[in-house]
């Protein structure tokens, strides 16, 4: 069945709201407007203002409220418009949600799910377009997800709500209108493993969220040149699935990480370090990465395109690793 | 053939088969094959070479009489005067 | 461009030293032309080429000691232009010298430009003259004991990749008769020719030869004990009749025509093998392959140390006098180190006769990929029970079998030894060529 990423997310939330009265959705414009990416369209009419709550423009306030509700036994889903705005709620997520189990000696857990859009490509300029997943992936106590496929968009929320600890879900803004085939496996979505989306023997392209599709496009172009690239979708950014990464790199002996975050201090850097630690003797070339240019994401379309990781840059990096440049 | 010539012939023959041998180090009364690592093929080749140089025929039944360097010298001296 | 690589010139050959070139760049060569003289652990050998073309580059210089499979000559095929520069690794391309933040800005000035040059692959720091190899290639080369200096790199900037090492290993495996053996270039006993030296190549000295033979034996025997599940059997054979028979046979003959006991022993093994083909052949690629003839490798110890086991072909069909002549000839040539390569590779089983050294029992190590080794100890007087319950003193020999349990079982091995014992006790059956023997 063909389905859009947006529809998959909508079905997931609808299912959760219908199945569990403790679940409610809160965020800016999630009610009357139907969500800034229209994921919760129609929910207000169906579930009512008690459970579909439009919040004031205060991320610190409504994320903190959701955390309180979670401590009180609810299963809140919070939607934040973009990761840029989530920095206003960083204190609640990092200093409260992530540490309460620890601070309370195990007496309290915070079963909150925070959804937020991320990434550039829609000409929303430097205050709406960044990829700051690594900020959250740095913090112990939370699980960080990056669904890239309709299967994960449909399946991950259920697993996230079932988790007794805080989960942050990043939805790449370019993926909402993407159509994909929903496989019967969507119900098996877990919060621990990476997944090989395309098998190949020459190089592993490691990507997450929006860059998964850049990597897939690069793999298609490389295949035309006889280079077989493996595409690994990280899915889970914290904890990273080292086993799947090392197994793949051990097979292909080369890796290119495609990360929409900036290079400095990036998740790509973390993954490179882990490969160095765990698979050094398997490598046939230095690990490479294609990241966003270290500039605020530009507004102008051509400049924005040039600043973000694109398939041709991935292809060029692979060619260099294989001495086929 | 005088004894020094005969002795030199025997040593030269032996050294062709066992180049590492130093004649001065050989004990004349100790079994030769105990002093020099000679297998049966080496020993046969040694006797064949002596036969070729000196014209002395050595029947197989006489092999047991040829154990030490003294034995060999005595045996050959008696047969090639 | 054709690459002509150092071929394997004998069973245990792992490497060779270039003594001299017989061609120079620009010479046209065809299949069968001698292009170089190469010294192996055994002797100096004329190396023939099997390709046709024009010599473009002589890759080695006299005195170089390299593993089998190393590129010796690059040949241009007909119509191929000489391109010496092309054979060198391309100079490292200058990395885009842009500060990290620049590409986007630069691209902005030319809106139609393609995405900026990726900074994905950061130029690696200089290796400081060291041969660059990937970690994976280094690990594999270390594991296989392959010298990275002998591997041509095909990765970025000429870096050696795992695949490059695998190619060298595969070439070596394909050309070496001892497939599992990975022991290769040992540290040279004597450095042949360092850079800048006149490159005076010479044949290996006895010391060098003995060192390289030692490492070849080490590789073969270690492989044998690592891979072959040996089983051992032994039996005592009365030698009274055959000793008398051989003495009588030799009695009337001049010394040059006398037969040593070794010849009938070898002959008995060959005749017995006709009934036990599973002991005659090779274990290769996970299965037994029967030998195409009965070619017996005779273990010959060398005076300077070491051991070779060259083959006498078709022993079962050879009469005793001829067998003795061939044995004597083989031993003398083996000790003069002038064997033919076929003699080094043909044996389908090995016989060792350590009885000359005075030991009674041999428990042998099979020479891979063969599946059996027969050992004879010293013929000595022993006390034995005889038919009527009495005891007697008589000469006897202990014959032993070391066999590969993957290819045969102890029951058949025992019957094989019994057959050898039976043949040695009816010595007349050993005398003629096989077709005259009455079973």
Inter-chain touch C254–B44, beta carbons under 8 Å: no
Residue A75 half-sphere exposure toward CB, CA atoms < 13 A: 17
> CA A105, CA A93: separation in Å to the nearest integer?
18
Burial class from Cβ neighbours inside 10 Å (0-12, 13-18, 19+) for residue C251 reads exposed
- Quote the number of domains for chain C: 2
Name the pLDDT band for C235 (thresholds 50, 70, 90): very high
**Domain A195-321 = CATH 3.40.50.920:** yes
At C184 the pLDDT is 33
Inter-chain touch A283–C163, beta carbons under 8 Å: no
Q: Averaged over C243-251, what is the pLDDT?
A: 92
Residue C189: pLDDT over 90? no
Residue of C nearest to A319 (CA): C156
At A68 the pLDDT is 97
Higher pLDDT, C274 or C14: C274
At A270 the pLDDT is 98
At C306 the pLDDT is 79
Inter-chain touch B41–C328, beta carbons under 8 Å: yes
Whether chain B has a CB inside 8 Å of the CB on C329: the answer is no
- Report the CATH number at residue C401: 3.30.559.10
Q: For residue C251, which residues of chain B lie inside 8 Å, CB to CB?
A: 59-61
At C187 the pLDDT is 34
At A10 the pLDDT is 97
Contact C46/C34 with Cβ under 8 angstroms? Answer: yes
Inter-chain touch A320–C134, beta carbons under 8 Å: no
How close A323 comes to chain C (CA, Å)?
4
> CA A301, CA C365: separation in Å to the nearest integer?
76
Inter-chain touch C159–A263, beta carbons under 8 Å: no
At C101 the pLDDT is 37
Residue C176: pLDDT over 90? no
At C174 the pLDDT is 64
- For residues C322 and C254, membership in a common domain is answered with yes
Name the pLDDT band for C205 (thresholds 50, 70, 90): low
In a domain, C1, yes or no: yes
Q: For residue A229, which residues of chain C lie inside 8 Å, CB to CB?
A: none
Element of type H or E holding C372: strand C372-376
Q: Averaged over C137-160, what is the pLDDT?
A: 85
At C303 the pLDDT is 76
The string over A170-198, giving b where at least 16 C-beta atoms fall within 10 Å of a residue's C-beta and e elsewhere, is bbbbbbbebebebeeebeebebeebbebb
Inter-chain touch C121–A286, beta carbons under 8 Å: yes
Which tens digit of pLDDT belongs to each residue from A226-282?
999 999 999 999 999 999 999 999 999 999 999 999 999 999 999 999 999 999 999
Which tens digit of pLDDT belongs to each residue from C327-365?
988 888 887 766 665 677 789 999 998 767 778 899 999
Whether chain C has a CB inside 8 Å of the CB on B55: the answer is no
Interface present between C and B (3 or more CB pairs within 8 Å): yes
Least confident of A174-188, C185-199, C209-223: C185-199
Residue extents of the structural domains in chain A? 2-188, 195-321
In a domain, C94, yes or no: no
Which tens digit of pLDDT belongs to each residue from C35-54?
888 877 666 677 878 788 88
Whether chain C has a CB inside 8 Å of the CB on B35: the answer is no
Inter-chain touch B58–C255, beta carbons under 8 Å: yes
What are the C-alpha distances in Å from C197 to residues A183, C64, C192, C201?
70, 11, 10, 11
In a domain, C312, yes or no: yes
* ipTM computed for the complex: 0.82
Contact C73/C49 with Cβ under 8 angstroms? Answer: yes
Q: Which two tokens stand for residue C300?
A: 């010959």
Residue C5: pLDDT over 80? yes
At A301 the pLDDT is 93
Name the pLDDT band for B42 (thresholds 50, 70, 90): confident
Higher pLDDT, C7 or A236: A236
> CA C283, CA A156: separation in Å to the nearest integer?
55
At C374 the pLDDT is 97
> CA A97, CA A166: separation in Å to the nearest integer?
6
Percent share of chain C, pLDDT over 70: 75
Q: Averaged over C163-179, what is the pLDDT?
A: 71
At C191 the pLDDT is 32
In the stretch 153-182 of chain C, residues with CB closer than 8 A to chain A read 154-157, 159, 161-163
Q: Averaged over C149-176, what is the pLDDT?
A: 81
- For residues C252 and C162, membership in a common domain is answered with no
Residue C439: pLDDT over 70? no
Residue B81: pLDDT over 80? no
Fold of B3-80: 1.10.1200
Higher pLDDT, B38 or A320: A320
At C178 the pLDDT is 38
At C123 the pLDDT is 63
- For residues C428 and C304, membership in a common domain is answered with yes
How close C263 comes to chain B (CA, Å)?
11
Residue C90: pLDDT over 80? no
Name the pLDDT band for C188 (thresholds 50, 70, 90): very low
Which tens digit of pLDDT belongs to each residue from A112-164?
999 999 999 989 999 999 999 999 999 999 999 999 999 999 999 999 999 99
Q: How many CB atoms are closer than 10 A to CB C108?
A: 17
Cut 0.80: pTM above it: no
- For residues C173 and C136, membership in a common domain is answered with yes
In a domain, C237, yes or no: yes
Higher pLDDT, C426 or C124: C426
Q: Averaged over B36-53, what is the pLDDT?
A: 86
At C100 the pLDDT is 40
At C91 the pLDDT is 42
Residue B1: pLDDT over 80? no
Which tens digit of pLDDT belongs to each residue from C401-437?
999 999 999 999 999 999 999 999 999 989 875 444 4
Whether chain B has a CB inside 8 Å of the CB on C254: the answer is yes
Dihedral of CA C75/C78/C84/C86: which sign?
negative
How close A255 comes to chain C (CA, Å)?
11
Residue A311: pLDDT over 50? yes
How close C161 comes to chain B (CA, Å)?
49
Inter-chain touch B41–C251, beta carbons under 8 Å: no
In a domain, C102, yes or no: no
At C197 the pLDDT is 36
Give me the DSSP letters along A232-284.
EE--EEES--HHHHHHHHHHHS-EEEEEEEESTT-HHHHHHHHHHHHHGGG-S
Q: Averaged over C300-306, what is the pLDDT?
A: 79
Which tens digit of pLDDT belongs to each residue from A10-47?
999 999 999 999 999 999 999 999 999 999 999 999 99
How close B6 comes to chain C (CA, Å)?
20
At C107 the pLDDT is 38
Average model confidence (pLDDT) across chain C: 78
Write out the catalytic residue numbers of A.
Answer: 59, 128
Name the pLDDT band for B29 (thresholds 50, 70, 90): confident
At A160 the pLDDT is 97
Q: Which of A284, A289, A306 lies at the smallest CB-CB distance from C107?
A: A306
Residue C264: pLDDT over 70? yes
Inter-chain touch C260–B18, beta carbons under 8 Å: no
Q: Which domain holds residue C9?
A: 1-79+131-192+204-227
Residue B72: pLDDT over 80? yes
In the stretch 93-132 of chain C, residues with CB closer than 8 A to chain A read 93, 100-101, 103-105, 107-108, 111, 113-122, 124
At A111 the pLDDT is 97
- Chain center to CA of C51: 24
Whether chain B has a CB inside 8 Å of the CB on C357: the answer is yes
Q: For residue C104, which residues of chain A lie inside 8 Å, CB to CB?
A: 293, 295, 298, 303, 306-307
- For residues C223 and C146, membership in a common domain is answered with yes
Interface present between B and A (3 or more CB pairs within 8 Å): no
- For residues C61 and C156, membership in a common domain is answered with yes
In a domain, C115, yes or no: no
Reference C328, options B31, B20, B39; nearest CA is B39
Residue extents of the structural domains in chain B? 3-80
At C207 the pLDDT is 64
Average model confidence (pLDDT) across chain A: 96
**Architecture, CATH, for domain A2-188:** 3-Layer(aba) Sandwich (3.40)
């Amino acid at each position: 069945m063909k389905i859009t990423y947006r529809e998959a997310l909508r079905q997931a939330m609808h299912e959760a709201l219908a199945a569990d009265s403790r679940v409610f959705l809160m965020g800016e414009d999630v009610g009357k407007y139907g969500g800034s990416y229209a994921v919760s369209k129609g929910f207000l009419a169906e579930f009512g203002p008690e459970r579909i709550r439009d919040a004031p423009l205060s991320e610190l306030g409504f994320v903190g409220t959701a955390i309180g509700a979670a401590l009180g036994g609810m299963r809140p889903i919070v939607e934040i418009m973009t990761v840029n705005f989530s920095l206003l709620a960083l204190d609640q997520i990092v200093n409260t949600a992530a540490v309460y189990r620890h601070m309370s000696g195990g007496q309290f857990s915070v079963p909150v799910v925070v959804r937020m859009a991320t990434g550039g490509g829609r000409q929303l300029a430097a205050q709406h377009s960044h990829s700051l997943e690594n900020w959250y992936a740095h913090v112990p106590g939370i699980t960080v997800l990056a669904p890239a496929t309709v299967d994960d968009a449909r399946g991950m929320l259920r697993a996230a709500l079932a988790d007794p600890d805080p989960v942050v879900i990043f939805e790449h803004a370019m993926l909402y209108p993407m159509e994909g085939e929903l496989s019967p496996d969507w119900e098996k979505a877990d919060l621990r493993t990476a997944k090989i989306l395309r098998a190949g023997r020459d190089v592993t392209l490691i990507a997450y969220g929006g860059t998964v599709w850049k990597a897939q496009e690069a793999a298609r172009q490389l295949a035309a040149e006889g280079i077989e690239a493996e595409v690994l979708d990280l899915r889970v950014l914290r904890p990273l699935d080292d086993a799947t990464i090392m197994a793949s790199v051990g097979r292909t002996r080369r890796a290119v990480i495609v990360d929409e975050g900036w290079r400095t201090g990036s998740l790509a850097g973390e993954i490179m370090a882990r490969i160095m630690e765990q698979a050094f003797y398997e490598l046939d070339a230095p690990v490479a990465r294609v990241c966003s240019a270290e500039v605020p994401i530009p507004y102008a379309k051509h400049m924005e395109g040039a600043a973000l990781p694109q398939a041709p840059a991935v292809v060029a990096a692979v060619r260099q690793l294989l001495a086929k440049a | 053939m005088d004894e020094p010539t005969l002795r030199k012939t025997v040593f030269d023959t032996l050294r062709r088969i066992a180049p590492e041998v130093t004649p001065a180090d050989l004990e004349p009364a100790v079994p030769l094959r105990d002093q020099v690592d000679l297998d049966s093929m080496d020993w046969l080749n040694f006797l064949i070479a002596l036969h070729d140089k000196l014209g002395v025929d050595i029947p197989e039944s006489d092999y047991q009489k040829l154990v030490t360097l003294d034995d060999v010298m005595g045996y050959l001296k008696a047969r090639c005067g | 461009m054709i690459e002509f690589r150092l071929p394997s010139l004998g069973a245990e050959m792992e490497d060779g030293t270039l003594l001299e070139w017989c061609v120079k760049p620009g010479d046209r060569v065809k299949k069968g032309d001698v292009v170089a003289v190469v010294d192996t652990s055994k002797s100096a050998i004329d190396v023939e080429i099997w390709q046709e073309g024009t010599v473009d580059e002589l890759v080695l210089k006299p005195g170089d000691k390299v593993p089998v499979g190393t590129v010796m000559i690059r040949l241009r095929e007909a119509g191929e232009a000489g391109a010496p520069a092309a054979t060198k690794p391309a100079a490292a391309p200058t990395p885009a010298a842009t500060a990290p933040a620049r590409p986007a800005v630069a691209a902005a000035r030319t809106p139609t430009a393609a995405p900026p040059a990726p900074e994905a692959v950061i130029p690696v720091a200089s290796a400081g003259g060291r041969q660059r190899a990937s970690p994976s290639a280094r690990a594999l080369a270390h594991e296989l004991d392959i010298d990275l200096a002998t591997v041509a790199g095909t990765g970025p900037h000429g870096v050696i990749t795992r695949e490059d090492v695998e190619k060298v290993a595969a070439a070596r495996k394909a050309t070496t008769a001892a497939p599992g053996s990975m022991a290769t270039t040992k540290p040279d006993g004597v450095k042949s020719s360092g850079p800048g030296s006149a490159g005076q190549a010479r044949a290996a000295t006895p010391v060098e030869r003995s060192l390289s033979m030692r490492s070849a034996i080490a590789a073969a025997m270690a492989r044998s004990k690592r891979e072959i599940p040996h089983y051992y059997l032994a039996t005592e054979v009365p030698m009274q009749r055959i000793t008398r028979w051989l003495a009588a046979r030799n009695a009337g003959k001049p010394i040059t025509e006398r037969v040593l006991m070794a010849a009938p022993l070898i002959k008995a093994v060959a005749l017995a093998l006709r009934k036990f083909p599973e002991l005659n052949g090779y274990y290769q690629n996970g299965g037994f392959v029967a030998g195409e003839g009965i070619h017996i490798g005779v273990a010959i110890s060398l005076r300077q140390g070491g051991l070779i086991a060259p083959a006498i072909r078709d022993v079962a069909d050879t009469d005793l006098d001829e067998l003795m002549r061939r044995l004597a000839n083989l031993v003398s040539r083996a000790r003069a180190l002038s064997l033919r390569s076929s003699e080094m590779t043909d044996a389908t089983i090995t016989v060792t006769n350590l009885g000359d050294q005075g030991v009674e029992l041999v428990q042998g190590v099979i020479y891979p990929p063969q599946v059996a080794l027969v050992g004879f100890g010293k013929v000595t007087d022993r006390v034995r029970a005889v038919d009527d319950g009495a005891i007697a003193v008589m000469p006897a020999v202990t014959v032993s079998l070391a066999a590969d349990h993957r290819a045969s079982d102890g029951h058949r091995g025992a019957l094989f030894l019994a057959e050898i014992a039976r043949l040695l006790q009816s010595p007349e059956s050993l005398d003629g060529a096989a077709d005259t023997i009455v079973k």
